[in-house]
Structure 1
Amino acid sequence: MPFSNRPFREPILVQNLPILQERYALRRCMADTALGKLYWAQDQKKTQQNGEQANVLVFTLLPALAQNPIFEQAFGHILPGYQKAAAGMPHILDDGKTADGIRWMVMRNIGGMLLSERLAELDDRGMPVPEAMELLDSISDTLASQRPDGVCGYLEPDAVLLGEKRPCLLTAPIAAALRVAYNNNPNERSRQTLHSGYISPEVLLGDTPTAADDTFSIASLAYHLFQGEAPFGKQSALEAAVRNLSPNSIRKLRPDAWNVLRQGLSLKRAERPKNPATLLRTLQRKQQKKRLLPIAALVAASAVAMTTYTLLSNRGSTPPKPVETQSSAPVTTTSTAGQTAKPAEDSATLVGETSLPPVLDQESVQAQADKLAAETAARAEAERQSAAASAQIRLATENDISTLQDNAADAIRKGKLFSTDPEQPAAVDYLRKAVSLEVDNIKTQKLLAQLINDQHAEAEALLAAGKLDEASKRLRTTDDLISEFTLADSLKRQVSLESAVKQAQRKQALEQETNPSAPDTSDNATDTTTPATSTSDVTESSDDNAQQYLERAQRAISYGNLNTGDDRSESAVAYLSTLLEKTPDHPEAMKLLRKIVTLQQDEALAMLRKNDTEKARTALDNSQELIGKYRLDNQVEEQISLEKRYRETLAMGITPSKEETKEEAPAPARNPTPPPAVAPPPTPVALPQGITATPRETENPEAAEAAAPPAYAPVTPTEVNIPADIPVQSTELPPIQLDNPAPESAPPNTVIFEIPATDADNAVNTGNTFTPDVPNLIEVPLDSIKDGLNNR
């Protein structure tokens, strides 16, 4: 069995699973992907060496895909390209369609385990970064080999089989057929909305996949491998886009590396890296940057050691003498003791070669030994001095960093965070110097986080005191620090505070506009004469204010001022957001918010019916912002449906009409029906020998003659072009055409031939050819037709 023995997520009884083509017995469902289901099955007509039935993999497609004729046509011509084994590609053994419409394909069992099962084994610590990067690189290489154009778009863990050599993308033929179908039919309105947390929102809505969509899938897999959980939990990427969700940061990654991964996880295609390879290269480079400082220190220490050794080795030594060439005559060498050394052999003394060293006496040997000992001692001393110098450099650097950190911590305690005087540095100045000495020092990062937290706390205090200008100024300074030191963990609180300040400023302006006599609550205004009030008075006043906000919001809704105000009132969203700040989850306010979202969605639908995509996009953005901010989960499905319709309208390429219509369907005048035309006499068709064509007989000829046939207007067939890098069955095939069905009654002068049905008509399409499911239709080979024409 090719998979691990983990418990089934959805146990299915064997007797409830069908047997395809009376041959492939489905044993259990291994995965439920966005494009269909993966089964482990057995081929009952093949046996293994041990006598057991052969194991295979069976994939059943989504019913919506099987019912799409454009996809079915492209899928039938793409499958032959996968009938040969290739690295990273499934090896298709058979395919077909059941009587109840289930489209299936059989793949060779290559062994291994699903990537989803490997992810299920991880805990909250995730996988080590080097191991995860190696796995991601192999999956990226597999994506680069996909057809066409090295783009898949439908990558998810349940569809990746981790084999011995390289991962295999089991849904590759389906993804290729979908891209071909979408590229050839941009105006098609029957694209299926999918559900997955690893496929980009654009592809889930039915857009044609691009390399940036594979970037999103790789980034989602990387997040799961690093963190041990999916980036958006159990929600699909489309639901996350509607709710404006963002994944939590990964602490094991450096801030620069996390920023790169966060770009890959962007729910907008334009913000992601252009392809998975670019994402992984940048991610690996940013993550390994922290190793550069120790490596640089090691190189510097080695350079110091080599320089010291060279200086000590050459001290007191004489320059080496140049090597002299010897002639063929023997040379006599006299030693210092008066002895004559043996002459060199003539055979060993050649022109252009150095002679063998002379035999040394005892004193020369002792001098040479003393020299070697001195060099060894010098080398050891050089190494000792180099190590001492490196230790001193490292100790000095650590002392400098520690001193800077202590100074920064003391400045933070005293509240001296910023300074414009260079002679009196503050906490930020000390931390900048510490970061320049060592980027990833943990204590420095903690001090920076503490500094940002103190700034946020001060901003919150200023906001609570009503000093909005000072709070806004403080947040701008904090935002600069977050960008300078790439403190990704502080971004969420920063964005929340900035939003709170903006809403408070808008609320203050609204109160001044609606009640000019109210006391000024600006930063410089104080009121020390306000008498003390009881708790009941405060509660009663709060209820009155809430009722006023609700009434004003209802009035704004009646005026149509949902998101923008005019001279009659402010926007309803402004009133309700101000109320919800004071009283979170106010039931009446939430009810009105849901009503506003419904009105915005109705407006978007009306604009889509008029093909006004600009106004529809504005309405959808407004409703999406409210759904994500106030967690209006009941309206997520409707928002997704409208997003899909918006993309379909864009794909149709229709400009906004001048006249507004209320019907959902487009006006019939756009495609006027041509006047009836008399069809030319039909061209006789020569059929192969042995096939007799008989005209269709009617039971009541007089009624047939009296009935007036409707106008018959021929429709241009739809051509499906297969990319060059996807092999088809034969290069001699004519252009693939899918004709629209003809009317029930053709022109009167059209001869219709009826061919008796045979048993072959009911056979399932399992070969390398594709035959549309049309009753009483038989495939006639081209060679037979040519032979029939020649015989005439």
Structure 2
Amino acid sequence: MTEPETPRPLADATTVLTGTGNTTVAATVCDTPALAVRAELGPGSVLRDRFELTRRLGAGGMGVVFGAVDRLKREAGDPRHHVAIKLLNRELRGHSVAFTALQREASKAQALAHPNIATVYDFDQADGWTYLVMEMLLGRPLNEVLFEARDAGLGLKPALQIVKGIAEGLAYAHRRGVVHCDLKPANIFFTEDGIPKILDFGIARTLPSSSAAAQDDFDPGKLGAYTPSYATEDMMSGGDPDASDDLYALGIIAYELLSGRHPFNRENARRAREQGLVPARIRGLPPHQWRVLERCLAFDRKPRPRDASEFLKRFFRSAALRNLAIAAGVSVVLVAGGMGYVNYRQAGPDVAFQDLPAETRQRVRQLLDDGAGEWAFFEREGAEFAAWSSLELYAEAYALHPRNREAAAGLDRAADALLRLSSDDAGRQAQLADALARKSEYLRRYAPVAERLSGSGP
């Protein structure tokens, strides 16, 4: 399965839709190459003497989708009696892989009850038809929204609201050991209420470490179903599923929402790496959020957040928490100054902060504030990556303003924490000290680091 170079609406759509005006009704349809659909059912037909088909919504490679009325719910007075019915094509009725994919879409979606994941109610067979019963969604697929916002993006606030909703749905799936494996704008529906809903878990896979993995021996690779411009190299090579693969796709979607452009010009990961493509920084995105997004877009798994829960912690943080951290950082510097004022002045920078060029001053201040924010996140969550991020920010500030006291204090604090977190093995301590020393010349001279480099440390 491939997608066209130009991201036109529904071009790679898993959701095939019809509607009036700006309102569309959604139900997922697998996006393998389309087969002819000789549907004998149509508006007015009834399945299992319960589901009355009202209108055809769309068709795809594996199925045709109808809007329907659930007569049982209507008779019970349930206002949610409008549903979507996805029928497996008759041509695929005897195709075991297609049947299994549809059944898996149902079973996985049913196990993932979350506001940001489309609901699947049932999987059944009747009158020779295999079908899913799904919730009816009003709104538009995200790829249509992105097409309208091409080259501009949606703006920071609305874009981040959508990213947060998608990430929360993914986090719920990841906590249950499920990786989507084909996350893309066409598999996300944006409802009239402004809620993003993740669709189509037909090729979702369980993580090898998940307790569900032993029960899931279906090979989605038989469908060839992934979308190259949102897939990692590991996915393209048929590797084991990993939650960070979904984070790569989420990073691309976030980049598109914020900028209106694909970060790698819609090239797949392998070609993007070969061509040395690097995403342009998004103007207006706070530095700490850009760093997280940049790591999501890494071609290798290691730099990416390990799952969507970690992404949410790293990307979305309380402004109040950051401000508190900044105040705490300033207090540390002031206390240090009060304890040894003479030494403090002697260790100060050669050029006073206020004498730096305005642009450098602004950059140093931003780095110091961001470093304090990362440190506060580390203290609250105990996340080692935040201590490293804090250290890198302070190191950059120190490089721009040598002997800056606030940067030096931040470097000391972060280095101490990372050394405490490391194992007691002397070899590992020396490796860590070397990594710290390479981050900043200041740390190479910092006593706890220098001692471990020389082998005389604890």
**How high is the TM-score relative to the length of structure 2?**
0.50
Normalising by the residue count of structure 1, what TM-score does the alignment of the two structures yield? 0.31
Which of structures 1 and 2 has the bigger CA Rg?
A: 1
Instruction: Identify, as 1 or 2, the structure richer in strand.
Output: 2
